[in-house]
């Protein structure tokens, strides 16, 4: 099996070690990028769709060669960045004032356009001021409200095997903080803490939507305090060579604020695994030291749970004093070998009446996510 780095080196060419369960629709053949039209159906600097659109191409055929340079130039609300196929090895910070920003992978296939870097929690900062920490390890940090992304891969290729001396092995692919953030047909690759679906403050209940996305990892690889709906997504748990026994890790680790009525909602999705059967648990609650009043919430419904999930103990506890049984965890109408009920007390389930309240409409209130990139077709 290829290493994380060797697998990522193939992605820009269209190959992949792993495949999306439900990929975003690719552009028609006549509109796909090629050597002469790296931005495909989305125009180019010489035939710009509109004044608010900027083009990024690592080979120099756009307005900018890095995503960060394009973000820096995209001042004002409602800008669009069209990103040509390629591997963009960089960290990207998107400030909160880039409201309504849209990021588009020009081919429509997330395997083609990869934003990747390799920092971990324990990686020393170059200036000697300490280590990056979990948030600082993120390849992409997205702060603005109204962010939309289509057909991109966000990755962190840091490997434990390269640094066995590190104790801080969290390595975030993307940290999303803004309200009304939406991701369509994107991939999120990493190991520990891959997708950080969060909010800017305890009092901000940031709403986020992930549709037809692929997320892989091993420990708490979808985590944070956002009000997040993960719809028709594929979650892939990875095997580990540094552990001799189960559990290898956990898929979800919500840290929902106690005052927030809505945490993570996973629906019409699938959880599969490269690890032996029963070596992963579905979730554990994260009650961070910065918010001991957190009341983590996760609902998984109408989804396929593969054999990688431990049916006897599908949930775990992260910190003493905050057992999973006292959190807001629930399931409804799941299928697959990992959904089998072997210990009823360990599978909290919604009633039909309760399930009617666990929907995207309830989570989002007055917000209805939309695929804005379709307007550029």
The residues that are catalytic are 193, 220
Q: For residue 25, what is the DSSP state?
A: P
Instruction: Give the three-state DSSP class for 150.
Output: strand
The three-class DSSP label of residue 299 is: strand
Q: What CA–CA distance (Å, rounded) separates 25 from 47?
A: 24
Distances (CA, A) of 377 to 31, 341, 357, 372, 373: 9, 46, 35, 10, 7
Q: Distance between CA atoms of 213 and 324, rounded to whole angstroms?
A: 27
Q: Could you give phi then psi for residue 69, rounded to 5 degrees?
A: -60, -40
209 with 363: CB under 8 angstroms? no
List b or e across 236-266, with b for residues whose CB sees 16 or more CB atoms inside 10 angstroms.
bbbebeeeeebbbbbbbbbbbbeebebbbbb
The widest CA-to-CA distance across the chain, in whole angstroms, is 63
| Coil/strand/helix, residue 162 | helix
CA triple 212-215-220, angle to 5 deg: 135
Ranges of H-type helices in 193-273: none
Structure tokens at 279: 């070596």
Q: How far apart are CA 220 and CA 352, in angstroms?
A: 29
């Amino acid at each position: 099996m290829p290493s994380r780095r060797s697998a990522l080196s193939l992605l820009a060419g269209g190959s992949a070690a792993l495949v999306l369960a439900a990929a975003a629709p690719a552009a028609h053949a006549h509109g796909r990028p090629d050597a002469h039209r790296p931005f495909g159906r989305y125009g180019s600097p010489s035939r710009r769709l509109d004044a608010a659109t900027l083009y990024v191409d690592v080979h120099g055929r756009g307005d900018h060669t890095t995503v960060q340079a394009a973000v820096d130039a995209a001042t004002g609300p409602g800008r669009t960045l069209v990103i040509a196929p390629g591997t963009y090895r960089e960290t990207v910070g998107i400030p909160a004032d880039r409201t309504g920003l849209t990021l588009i992978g020009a081919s429509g296939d997330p395997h083609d356009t990869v934003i990747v870097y390799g920092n971990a929690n324990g990686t020393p900062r170059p200036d000697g001021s300490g280590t990056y920490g979990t948030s600082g390890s993120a390849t992409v940090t997205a702060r603005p409200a109204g962010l939309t992304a289509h057909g991109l891969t966000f990755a962190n290729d840091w490997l434990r095997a390269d640094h066995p001396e590190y104790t801080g092995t969290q390595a975030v692919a993307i940290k999303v903080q803004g309200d009304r953030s939406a991701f369509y047909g994107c991939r999120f690759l990493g190991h520990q803490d891959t997708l950080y679906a969060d909010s800017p403050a305890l009092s901000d209940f940031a709403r986020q939507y992930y549709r037809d996305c692929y997320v892989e990892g091993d420990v708490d690889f979808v985590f944070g305090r956002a009000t997040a709906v993960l719809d028709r997504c594929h979650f892939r748990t990875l095997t580990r060579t540094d552990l001799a026994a189960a559990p290898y890790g956990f898929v979800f680790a919500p840290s929902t604020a106690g005052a927030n009525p809505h945490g993570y909602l996973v629906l019409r999705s699938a959880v599969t695994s490269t690890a032996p059967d029963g070596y992963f648990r579905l979730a554990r609650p994260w009650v961070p030291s910065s918010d001991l009043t957190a009341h983590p919430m996760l609902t998984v419904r109408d989804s396929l749970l593969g054999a990688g999930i431990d049916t006897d103990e599908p949930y775990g506890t992260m910190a003493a004093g905050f057992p999973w049984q006292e959190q807001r965890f629930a399931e409804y109408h799941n299928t697959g070998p990992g959904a089998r009920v072997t210990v009823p007390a360990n599978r909290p389930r919604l009633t039909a009446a309760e399930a009617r309240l666990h929907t995207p409409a309830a989570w989002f209130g007055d917000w209805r996510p939309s695929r804005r990139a379709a307007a550029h077709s």
